[in-house]
Structure 1
Amino acid sequence: MSKDKENKNKEYSAGNITVLEGLEAVRKRPAMYIGDVGIKGLHHMIWEVVDNSIDEAMAGYCDEIKVEINEDNSITVTDNGRGIPVDMHEKEGKSALEVVMTVLHAGGKFDKDTYKVSGGLHGVGVSCVNALSTKLVATVYSKNGKIHQQEYSEGIPQTGVEVVGETDITGTQIHFVPDKSIFAESVYKYDTVATRLRELAYLNAGIKIKLIDHRELDDEGKTKEEDFFSEGGLLEFVDYLDGSREKLIPSPVYMEGEKNGVPVQVAMNYNTSFTENVVSYVNNINTYEGGSHVSGFRRALTRTLKSYADKSGLLEKSKIEISGDDFREGLTAIISVKVAEPQFEGQTKTKLGNSEVIGAVETCVSETLTHFLEENPKEAKMIVQKVLLAAQARHAARKAREMVQRKNVMSGSGLPGKLADCSEKDPGICELYLVEGDSAGGSAKQGRDRKFQAILPLKGKILNVEKAQEHKIYDNDEIKNILTALGVTIGTEDDDKALNLAKLRYHKIVIMTDADIDGSHIRTLILTLFFRYMRELIELGYVYIAQPPLYLIKRGKKEAYVYTEGERAGVVKEMAPEGKEDSLHIQRYKGLGEMNPEQLWITTMNPDSRNMKRVSIESAAEADHLFSMLMGDEVPPRRDFIEKNAKYAKVDV
């Protein structure tokens, strides 16, 4: 009997469930287990349940997963795996289903015979979801032909494990209602869920994942749904990320192998852009901070490409020393490894620490890439020429940076003349507003609290850094002013891409633009600058978007500021219940400059009454795809996006 068949015939029963500790602390300190109790933690509830289904798929027992967002913002996740065991757990004296659902650190993840690799490594997943739900119903379609079900509230069983029917299929369905008393937000975002499920489909080729949103009906009265399925896996993932970029070589390079017991998959391609986009995963978990698998990839890429370039004589005429960064400019790569016992640095699972993975990835990439370069000399030459151009641009960028820094030193404080600084010097308290236009900048300067709020007016649109080489950004006055005001520098002696935050002057950087098309464009240009060159500021949670009101609605002495179109309808109905909208004075704010300093302070800048949005990166891969599509050269993908997402979009290209 083959090993695969032998493994598939192994029983998955109560004996495979290992119990480590109880569930008491989850409701008291939920953020310790799911990250936070905001919108991110709310969505994390879905990931924990879906991860269990993906683990079944990785073990070879499941190929269909369905995620439903219900009308009441409850979630239902269904898979066609083996079904959670329902037989009695010998040690606990209760059904294995109840143990899995109510005991922290209980699950098949701790039994190596059940799951060789797993995303939900701490086993806290589904029991945490149970603890943080007002209602959870677990339904198991069991191999014994019965449908078993148990209901819980706040992690406590409300029923026994009951037989509620018969079945000829196997699988698990988890339906849960997040506890609104715990989560600050209770409305799921379709796009956030879709992005993660798309990612999982690419990372697990051959698995069908369906997303259904019962909250919305289309024009035909049908529910919104989307299917995610990938045959090509990582190759298709790279093509998706590079969909709005011009490719340097026709097809991605795919590398796969298993070294030191670590299965490795890598897909990569080069494009004509000036940015690097390396996205890494361990057991389907996005490792935002990289780790040993990324180190192994970068070492192999640099060594292999440099060795080939040296042998082929392509670097002979270059007078500029090539660095590791140069080999990664215009590179898009996906690295996915499966590790039986991964060691993540920190609770967030964002950086892999296993040293043995470095060699596994390095060997796999070196061997495959060497063959590719030797067998495809035309593509190899194009890649090396791109590397040489990157080295020249890096050298020019370093000179430009040094020039800007010298000028700052010579001019004394070096702060931009337009900056109205604050008196406080503690960065943790200070706020910098990047304001569109001199008019709004004037209102903001008069309306602010001078102690901790600084204002930097921006004239016109800054350079689109998505389509410009790095040295060009130092020629743009507005970008120079932003960098100088912040007190940050890009590039160090050892790393030309590193962001130096040692002299960062503000821990709140607020983008404040008009609520019109030009304002949206300026905001996106600034966000592109931060994402491409100062991403660490976003990751630290320092970047915000101001939310000025769209309307001021008055009736007599009664007035209300309105921030959304939906809110406008509600306020109008409340202030004119008889339906006479003409009895109201409705002022539409097209620009920040239309508000006087006091109004701008009350609505947009006062910490006690303002409503700012913190910028975060839910998926680095999706964010990269979005910025390259919105701000790159390719028009068709951008047009499709606008037509799909804008409610009243009319696009003329």
Structure 2
Amino acid sequence: DKDSYKVSGGLHGVGVSCVNALSDHLTATVHKEGKVWQQEYEKGKALYPVKTIGETDFTGTIVTFLPDKSIFAQTTEYNYDTLSARLRELAYLNKGITITLTDKRNTDDEGNYIQETFRSTEGLPEFIKYLDSTREQLTANVISMEGEKNGIPVEVAMVYNTSYSENLHSYVNNINTHEGGTHLSGFRRGLTHTLKKYADESGLLKNVKFEIAGDDFREGLTAIISVKVAEPQFEGQTKTKLGNREVTSAVSQAVSEMLTDYLEENPNDAKTIVQKVILAAQARHAARKAREMVQRKTVMSIGGLPGKLSDCSETDPAQCEIFLVEGDSAGGTAKQGRDRNFQAILPLRGKILNVEKAMQHKVFENEEIKNMFTALGVSIGTEEDPRALNLSKIRYHKVVIMCDADVDGSHIATLILTFFFRYMREMVEQGYIYIATPPLYLVKKGQKREYAWDDNQRDLIAQKLGVNVNIQRY
């Protein structure tokens, strides 16, 4: 209904109809024109015509429904964290509104229902601060821009931090378009064009001897792009990617104009951002050379497999698994207990590089990381993308991170996981990566030996075995 809503996330006007059809029970209560109107439905069918049930000074609509268990056979339980994240998001996207989430399934220590209230007075800048709360900002303030181009309202909040990855979030009419689309393309185009033009005109690039790419302008950037489109066209029914072509130029022009004004009014911030971009470009060029070295150091190279790798005899990658263990000592123990037919062991020297805080070329130059690339048979570069991960010659379909159960072991496991997430994410997404859960204690008495994974389990086993038990902590 174009007369009722200027913009809407719905496309066909059948949202509540579908909810009703899939609900065991639904009640709609409308406060309008001084009266309260109500109608109830069961299994999608009205139980009675719309009726007046009272008078009111308020306006608004309340819809309550219960999912039909005969349709949603696996679960009808709502995940609190999922709802909380979405409502928090909506509060940031619509500053000034108050949203309350009440979970009547659970109570706190005082017997009250679990409840959260979401309200944002700043909107997107406050959202940026929430997203970047664990990162170190390069500029004191969040860059906030709000304008309209070709009848399309555009709102952007962005900030640069000391990290090496981009973190972009895009929305259309409050819908999270996590696959991006034309509005995100417009933002990237406007950002790159404006920053490059400013850097050229201000002379900040005069001593730079190499090309600066679009990715360099977005390294360490956290940004939120929110647009309002009267008739959004999404690619597919999931509404995760915007397809309106006219939005690209509208967002690009709006971002270019607003960002130009900001850079001219804040020259110190502008210089800091451009210096970050130049460092990113330098690191990218160094990383390319380091990647090429990793690419050349394959299993078939002269150097062969890493010397510390105890390989398995099986040649079918689908049947093979490799254990990444901390240190030679753990490697020796693991080798004694493995099945050499299909299990390989690669000891890593202590804590590997924290790739979250390291520049890309430092990552590819790190010896332990190069050993992992070589042992796994993974290289960088495909026919389609020279920077993509190439898994065509992967040697193991199960990579098990096996560290001690103590704090140090957890830290090492986290560092290894971070490496895989940042540099071999396809392996994580395709289910190649596992974490072993070793016991924390060995409880023994005579010939009886039992393992415990926490203090409570240790105490229960010790109590069961009686006196004179020996407890060994790993």
CA apart distance, 1:420: 3.9
Residue 143 of structure 2 corresponds to residue 253 of structure 1 = yes
What code does the residue aligned with 1:478 have? Answer: E
Are 1:149 and 1:162, in contact at CA under 8 Å, matched by a contact in 2? Answer: yes
**Normalised TM-score (structure 1):** 0.61
2:410 corresponds to which of 506, 520, 541:
520
Matching residue of 1:310? 200
Residue 118 of structure 2 corresponds to residue 228 of structure 1 = yes
Structure 2: distance between partners of 1:211 and 1:112: 30
Residue 339 of structure 2 corresponds to residue 446 of structure 1 = yes
Matching residue of 1:582? 463
1:175 corresponds to which of 41, 45, 64:
64
Unaligned runs of 5+ in 1: 1-110, 573-579, 592-653
Residue 99 of structure 2 corresponds to residue 209 of structure 1 = yes
Q: Secondary structure at 2:338's aligned position in 1?
A: helix
Distance 1:207 1:540, change over 3 A: farther
**Normalised TM-score (structure 2):** 0.81
Are 1:345 and 1:352, in contact at CA under 8 Å, matched by a contact in 2? Answer: yes
Are 2:420 and 2:427, in contact at CA under 8 Å, matched by a contact in 1? Answer: yes
What code does the residue aligned with 2:463 have? Answer: D
Residue 153 of structure 2 corresponds to residue 272 of structure 1 = no
Structure 2: distance between partners of 1:498 and 1:533: 10
Matching residue of 2:181? 291
CA apart distance, 1:542: 5.5
CA apart distance, 1:200: 1.5
Structure 1: distance between partners of 2:450 and 2:65: 38
CA apart distance, 1:163: 4.9
Which structure 2 residues correspond to residues 417-566 of structure 1 after superposition, within 5 A? 418=309, 420=311, 423=314, 425=316, 429=318, 432=321, 434-437=323-326, 438=330, 441-442=334-335, 445-446=338-339, 450=342, 456=346, 458-490=348-380, 498-503=388-393, 511-539=401-429, 543=433, 545=435
CA apart distance, 1:416: 4.4
Distance 1:376 1:187, change over 3 A: same
CA apart distance, 1:208: 0.9
Structure 1: distance between partners of 2:394 and 2:175: 31
Q: Secondary structure at 2:42's aligned position in 1?
A: strand
CA apart distance, 1:234: 1.1
Structure 2: distance between partners of 1:421 and 1:291: 46
Q: Percent identity?
A: 61
Are 2:381 and 2:389, in contact at CA under 8 Å, matched by a contact in 1? Answer: yes
CA apart distance, 1:334: 0.8
Structure 2: distance between partners of 1:324 and 1:160: 59
Are 1:252 and 1:267, in contact at CA under 8 Å, matched by a contact in 2? Answer: yes
Structure 2: distance between partners of 1:489 and 1:582: 52
Residue 287 of structure 2 corresponds to residue 394 of structure 1 = no
CA apart distance, 1:150: 1.0
* Superposed CA RMSD: 4.1
What code does the residue aligned with 1:445 have? Answer: R
**1:150-173 alpha-carbon deviations (Å, 9 max, x no partner):** 1424x4556665655544333333
More displaced 10-residue stretch of structure 1: 173-182 or 467-476: 173-182
CA apart distance, 1:381: 1.3
Q: Secondary structure at 1:344's aligned position in 2?
A: coil
Residue 163 of structure 2 corresponds to residue 282 of structure 1 = no
Distance 1:199 1:375, change over 3 A: same
CA apart distance, 1:238: 1.4
Distance 1:497 1:204, change over 3 A: farther
Are 1:516 and 1:590, in contact at CA under 8 Å, matched by a contact in 2? Answer: no
Are 2:187 and 2:255, in contact at CA under 8 Å, matched by a contact in 1? Answer: yes
CA apart distance, 1:415: 4.7
Structure 2: distance between partners of 1:499 and 1:270: 27
Distance 1:256 1:315, change over 3 A: same
CA apart distance, 1:469: 0.9
**1:258-291 alpha-carbon deviations (Å, 9 max, x no partner):** 2233221111111222221122222222222222
Are 2:310 and 2:335, in contact at CA under 8 Å, matched by a contact in 1? Answer: no
Distance 1:202 1:433, change over 3 A: farther
Structure 1: distance between partners of 2:210 and 2:132: 29
